Structure 1
Amino acid sequence: MQLQSSRLNLRPVTASDLDDLFRIYGDPATNTFNPTGPYPDIRHAQTVLARWISHWETHRFGNWAISLQDSPERIIGFGGLSISSYADILIYNLGYRFATEAWGKGLATEFSKNSVRYGFVELKLTEISAVVRGNHLASQKVLRKAGLQYLREIHDVKDAPPSLLFSLTHSEWLRKSI
């Protein structure tokens, strides 16, 4: 299932995305707010990618490889909707990570708004959530622009400060979309 927004191309991840996944998730700069840090090696990225591909095969949705429409061969990020468990809470999780070259251009907001629309319209989800670190103000701003609201703290990473759980129900989204 490929999607397009005004500037972005989204396609399901494939095994050929391994090097791009490690380039983005292995970069210390993209992990500034991640208490577990960057991916340690390509094998770790391979394990994550296999899990993402399996999620697509099982659920028919998941993480996309993200590129700009004017340069579709260059992956600038990964993100999507996935079934995730955080602190024993099962959620439809909106997540993303962009390469530093894509920061500050509104691409995360564009991606998030389109992912929320896809989740509610195409997947018929009743609620979409996201987990963000308390000190990651830019991502919190993106989530709010996509319509999600702060619900509460959750303890999702051992020996780390709590994360913040944001959420948006389908009915709230419909009210905001009118």
Structure 2
Amino acid sequence: MHVFLATERLLLRPFTEADADHLFALDNDPEVMRFINGGEPTSLETVRTRILPRLLHDHPCFGTRGFWAAEEKATGTFLGWFEFRPLDERSPAVVELGYRLNQAAWGKGYATEGSRDLIDKGFTDLAVDRVTANTMTVNTRSRRVMEKSGLSFLRNFTGDWPESIPGSEHGEVEYELTRTEWQQRR
């Protein structure tokens, strides 16, 4: 198994077709998906034909993927995934940070740990200049992870939601961390 990043407690590895069942379970937990699609279920067909291909995509400017399966290092248990994806296929300058972990992994610091180590790798190895992350304004847990990972609040905005879900009326927030800010904090 190729490991993209090993943290103290996590292994981040490329997704494979064999991860479809893990993704199906993750995306069918209403609490996990509450701030994504209002907790609506996702079909296995959608996972295989729409979600997994996006997670398997290689980004030319990185020479690697932008989504990583997260496993607990000690047990190999699938915990979810992390996103560290360039916003422009041709440039690694700006990346989007994201994470989706199963409920069993919540409250254990995994999201912060994986995010911090991805940020460090981005600024040291991947020529990243700016990390950005978005969530719904009401998603306080995700906002806290962003803050603990070193990102700062940038702005509120209203996204284009295909369907309104509870909380979307409050809009979204964007957080960011620049290379200069990261270097100053080290």
Scaled by the length of structure 2, what TM-score is found?
Answer: 0.84
Which 4+ stretches in 1 moved above 6 angstroms? none
Q: Contact 2:132 / 2:177 at 8 angstroms: preserved in 1? A: yes
Q: Contact 2:94 / 2:129 at 8 angstroms: preserved in 1? A: no
* CA displacement at 1:3 relative to structure 2: 1.3
Instruction: Give the Cα separation in 1 of the matches to 2:100 and 2:115.
Output: 11
Give the alignment of 1:20-169 within 5 angstroms: 20-35=22-37, 37-46=39-48, 47-56=50-59, 59=62, 60-72=64-76, 74-84=77-87, 91-158=94-161, 159=164, 160-161=168-169, 162-169=171-178
Counterpart residue identity of residue 103, structure 2 = T
Q: Secondary structure at the match of 2:12?
A: strand
Q: Secondary structure at the match of 1:71?
A: coil
Instruction: Give the Cα separation in 2 of the matches to 1:39 and 1:84.
Output: 27
Instruction: Give the Cα separation in 2 of the matches to 1:83 and 1:157.
Output: 21
Counterpart residue identity of residue 71, structure 1 = T
Cα deviation 1:118-159 (Å, max 9, x = unaligned):
111111100000001111111111101111011112222325
Q: Secondary structure at the match of 1:29?
A: coil
Q: Contact 2:129 / 2:179 at 8 angstroms: preserved in 1? A: yes
* Mean CA deviation greater in 142-151 or 35-44: 35-44
Runs (5+) with no aligned partner, structure 1: none
Runs (5+) with no aligned partner, structure 2: none
Cα RMSD over matched residues?
Answer: 2.1
* CA displacement at 1:56 relative to structure 2: 4.9
* CA displacement at 1:14 relative to structure 2: 1.2
Q: Contact 2:30 / 2:38 at 8 angstroms: preserved in 1? A: no
* Mean CA deviation greater in 162-171 or 149-158: 149-158
Counterpart residue identity of residue 136, structure 1 = N
Q: Which residue in 2 is equivalent to 1:176?
A: 185
* CA displacement at 1:108 relative to structure 2: 0.7
Count of residues paired in the alignment = 172
Q: Contact 1:116 / 1:128 at 8 angstroms: preserved in 2? A: yes
